[in-house]
């Protein structure tokens, strides 16, 4: 049993020693090996590494892309002296752990503060040179690219690579937004009025055109109708003329009789007659002609 106890002790001691003398570096990490506070090696590749127990210690760094996302939007002034609120984020990663450690004592927060300062300074400069419109749309890309280059150049000195600087929001301060809203409203009102009045105008045009068509249609029909009537009248006149010219004198007589008859057919028509008219000649004497 004594041999057994020795074995167990040996195993435990061995395990402790082993755990002190090996370390792994994850795919996502890089490591610095310190010997009594002095950097002796940089482990950039993932894997299993040896170190001297007790004498050496290891510090791991996350080398993935990290994000600096400003909590509150920063206020910048554009070239036309307008305030804008800008929200941005920065993608960065540690590329040189040694420098990073030396510069920031390995503290990501300190690194981000530094980055934020650089980017803010850069933005102040870039925005001060441009109008709101430029930073919102026209030159957004180039602003971001300039900022990235600047920040990257600065950050390289600390072992940091700036992958990207992206403007998230460019907003107007609340009081300016209000006036933008008023303007938008006015614009819409203009559009609405324009729509309504052009609608009314077009409707009126359609109506007027319809009225014109009506007039034309009726007038043309009237013209044709009159022509047709005229043709009828002409034909009738020709017929009458042909018939009546056979004996104009008799026609006059015959037609007069016809006309008298249709003129005096009502009791309202009062005829005041003298008995010496031809009709009454037999009233005076049976032989007539008794005048």
Partner 1 sequence: MAWNDPQWGNRNDGGPPDLDELWRRFNQRLNAAFGRRGGGAHGADQPGGGGFKLPGGAGLIVGILIAIWLASGFYIVDAGERGVVLRFGKYVETTQPGPRWHLPYPIESVEVVNVEQVRTVEVGYRNNVKSKVLSESLMLTDDENIIDLQLSVQYILKDPEDYLFNNRNPDEAVRQVAESAIREIVGKSKMDFVLYEGRAEVADRATRLMQQLLDRYRTGIQISKVNLQNAQPPEQVQAAFDDAVKAGQDRERLKNEGQAYANDVIPRASGVAARLLEEANGYKQRVEANAIGEAERFKQILAEYNKAPQVTRERLYLEAMQEILSNSTKILIDDKGGGNLLFLPLDKLMQAAGANVATEAAPPSPENIQPAAKSDNLFRSRDAFRSREREERP
Scan residues 129-148 and list those touching partner 1 (CB under 8 A).
132-133, 136-138, 140-141
CB of 190 to partner 1, least distance (A): 9
Least Cα distance to 166 among 224, 47, 86, 108 occurs for 86
List binders of partner 1 among 159-198 (CB under 8 A): 163-164, 166-172, 177-178, 180-181, 184-185, 188-189, 191-193, 195-196, 198
Give the pairing type, strands 47-50 and 38-43: unpaired
Among 81, 105, 270, 286, binds partner 1 (CB under 8 A): 270
Q: What are phi and psi of 289, to 5 degrees?
A: 60, 30
Residues 6+ apart with CB under 8 A from 282: 288
263 sits in the region (left: phi over 0; alpha: psi -120 to 50; else beta) called: alpha
Question: Rounded to the nearest 10 degrees, how much is the dihedral formed by the CA atoms of 106, 108, 112, 114?
Answer: -20
Among 38, 54, 105, 274, binds partner 1 (CB under 8 A): 274
List binders of partner 1 among 105-124 (CB under 8 A): none
Total residues at interface with partner 1 (CB under 8 A): 118
Binding piece for partner 1, criterion CB under 8 A, among 33-41, 121-129, 150-158, 208-216: 208-216
Q: Is 279 among the residues that bind partner 1 (CB under 8 A)?
A: yes
CB of 125 to partner 1, least distance (A): 20
Residues 6+ apart with CB under 8 A from 169: 73, 85, 86, 87
Contact 73, 87 (CB under 8 A): yes
CB nearer to partner 1: pick between 157 and 205: 205
List binders of partner 1 among 228-267 (CB under 8 A): 228-229, 231-233, 235-237, 239-240, 242-244, 246-247, 250-251, 253-254, 257-258, 260-261, 263-267
Sign of torsion over alpha carbons 275, 280, 281, 287: negative
CB nearer to partner 1: pick between 24 and 285: 24
Residues 6+ apart with CB under 8 A from 79: 127, 128, 129, 130, 131
Q: Dig out the tokens for 140 from the structure.
A: 């957004």
Least Cα distance to 212 among 200, 204, 201, 223 occurs for 204
Query: Residues 209-228 vs partner 1: string with x where CB under 8 A?
Result: xxx-xxx-xx-xxx-xxxxx
CB nearer to partner 1: pick between 107 and 215: 215
List binders of partner 1 among 72-111 (CB under 8 A): 89, 91
Among 34, 41, 58, 62, binds partner 1 (CB under 8 A): 62
């Amino acid at each position: 049993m004594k041999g057994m106890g020795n074995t167990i002790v040996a195993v435990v001691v061995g395990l402790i020693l082993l755990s002190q003398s090996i370390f792994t570096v994850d795919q996502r990490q890089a490591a610095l090996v310190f010997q009594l506070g002095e950097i002796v090696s940089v482990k950039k590749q993932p894997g299993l590494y040896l170190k001297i127990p007790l004498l050496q210690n290891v510090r791991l760094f996350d080398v993935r892309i990290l994000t600096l996302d400003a909590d509150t939007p920063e206020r910048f002034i554009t070239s036309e002296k307008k305030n804008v609120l800008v929200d941005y984020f920065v993608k960065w990663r540690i590329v040189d752990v040694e420098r990073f450690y030396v510069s920031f004592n390995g503290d990501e927060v300190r690194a981000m503060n530094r980055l934020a300062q650089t980017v803010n300074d850069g933005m102040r400069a870039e925005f001060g040179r441009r109008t709101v419109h430029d930073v919102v749309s026209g030159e957004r890309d180039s602003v971001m690219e300039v900022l990235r280059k600047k920040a990257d150049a600065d950050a390289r000195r600390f072992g940091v690579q700036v992958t990207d600087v992206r403007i998230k929001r460019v907003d107007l301060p609340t009081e300016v937004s209000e006036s933008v809203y008023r303007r938008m409203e006015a614009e819409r009102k203009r559009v609405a009025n324009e729509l309504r009045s052009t609608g009314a105008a077009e409707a009126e045009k359609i109506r007027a055109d319809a009225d014109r068509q009506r007039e034309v249609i009726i007038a043309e029909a009237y013209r044709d109708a009159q022509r047709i009537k005229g043709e009828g009248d002409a034909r009738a006149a020709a017929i009458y003329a042909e018939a009546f010219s056979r004996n104009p004198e008799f026609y006059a007589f015959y037609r007069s009789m016809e006309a008298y008859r249709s003129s005096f057919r009502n009791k309202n028509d009062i005829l005041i007659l003298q008995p010496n008219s031809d009709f009454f000649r037999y009233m005076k004497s049976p032989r007539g002609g008794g005048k």
